Structure 1
């Protein structure tokens, strides 16, 4: 029960209590939480306290609201550390989720100014566009659009097609181990919140306008040569990235 005598605000106490119920399995994914009125009566708190607690849980991705229906326990998000590169397959399996990858398509495209700059190749040089779909437990999680110089891209397509045909899960980063003379050494990434257009919505089995996390990556070899430009669109409610940083430069006033 909640304590009105503690220094900890009641809404935080309620949040932690509900959070613990979710973590220990008392509340399962997609279970409906008691209504605001029910929570007020159950824990002898005001509606403002209940709303603050639920808002905190929503912000942490532990619950979600459905208009006119109530508040429900969210499915666990896939979490990925940013300091190291973790393969798609390993990331999902750590969460007890069965990963799989669908080979969607590939095409040959002349490099426009943007691609030519990013891949450090002459304008109009052929590039390979490879599209993959990453799934967890059969549910679409991430849509990959990768662009390569033609020599590397043709190998990527064959490897991706073969692994998908064999039912193996992978992302393009996993395929570099099987390409001779190309060793990824560094990548740069940017993160942006976007909404799904019609094409992405169809691939990810969501509605247009659904929140997505777009991760744009450029992969470099040990020689410093760019070898892949990738745009990955993750379902916002299914995926979360996190990073741990050293705090070495705090200055005391």
Structure 2
């Protein structure tokens, strides 16, 4: 219940009350919440107070509004830490999801100048060019474009490309993956991303560009992954230097 004698603002108390109901599973993704009027009458507060609490939860990603229909519980975001280097499959399994991959494109072609530079190759060289839709419990989560050098990683097949490439590199080729450099950028979904990720065009997305290296310092992967902004958030610990 709300404590009107508390120095904590009423809107914040209501915000935390709704948030707790979501986190405890009392309100499930897709459920509608009571209207502003119903909340105002239930807790004897102003509709403006209710509106502020709900708006804050929309901005935080707990709720979403549909014009003319109401406010609903949002699917909770997957929190991915940036300290360690893990594959999509490893990350999803660690969080209790079943990962899968829809292979949209599989090509062997000549690397352009940018890819030659990123993979530290002297041209001309051929690469595998893959486009993959990554899913968790059959829900589209990310769209990934990957380039791999064919000389370093021989015999990559479409079947291998549908699974974990990192597992193939380490378990089948017995190469040790060491580290990656990553760039993270706030982006919006274009027409293709919107269609494949099942989100409205122009929706917020997070794009990570990654170059991944083996323990001997050789680059083996150039990848761009577009994550749904409504399902992902990235966290990192930083230390003052």
Shift of 1:118: 0.9
* Residue 151 (structure 2) aligns with: 151
The alignment covers a number of residue pairs equal to 241
Q: Is 1:27 matched up with 2:20?
A: no
Deviations 1:139-176 (A, max 9, x none): 21111110112223543x32x51474xxxxx4433332
Taking a change above 3 Å as real, the CA distance of residues 153 and 119 of structure 1, as seen in their structure-2 partners, is same
Q: Is 1:67 matched up with 2:98?
A: no
Deviations 1:41-60 (A, max 9, x none): 22222233222212221232
Partners of 2:160 and 2:168 within 8 A in 1: no
Moved more, 49-58 or 220-229: 49-58
Segments of 5+ residues of structure 1 without an aligned counterpart are: 165-169
* Residue 170 (structure 2) aligns with: 177
Shift of 1:88: 2.3
Taking a change above 3 Å as real, the CA distance of residues 162 and 225 of structure 1, as seen in their structure-2 partners, is closer
What is the CA–CA distance in structure 1 between the aligned matches of 2:119 and 2:32, rounded to whole Å? 49
TM-score (norm 2): 0.90
What is the CA–CA distance in structure 1 between the aligned matches of 2:65 and 2:106, rounded to whole Å? 38
What is the CA–CA distance in structure 1 between the aligned matches of 2:49 and 2:189, rounded to whole Å? 34
Partners of 1:127 and 1:153 within 8 A in 2: no
TM-score (norm 1): 0.86
Partners of 1:220 and 1:226 within 8 A in 2: yes
Match of 2:213 among 220, 223, 230: 220
What is the CA–CA distance in structure 2 between the aligned matches of 1:100 and 1:181, rounded to whole Å? 23
The 4+ residue runs of structure 1 with deviation greater than 6 A are none
What is the CA–CA distance in structure 1 between the aligned matches of 2:173 and 2:164, rounded to whole Å? 18
Q: Secondary structure at the match of 2:102?
A: strand
Aligned-CA RMSD value: 2.1
Segments of 5+ residues of structure 2 without an aligned counterpart are: none
Moved more, 9-18 or 86-95: 86-95
Moved more, 26-35 or 111-120: 111-120
Deviations 1:55-89 (A, max 9, x none): 22123221112122211111122221111123323
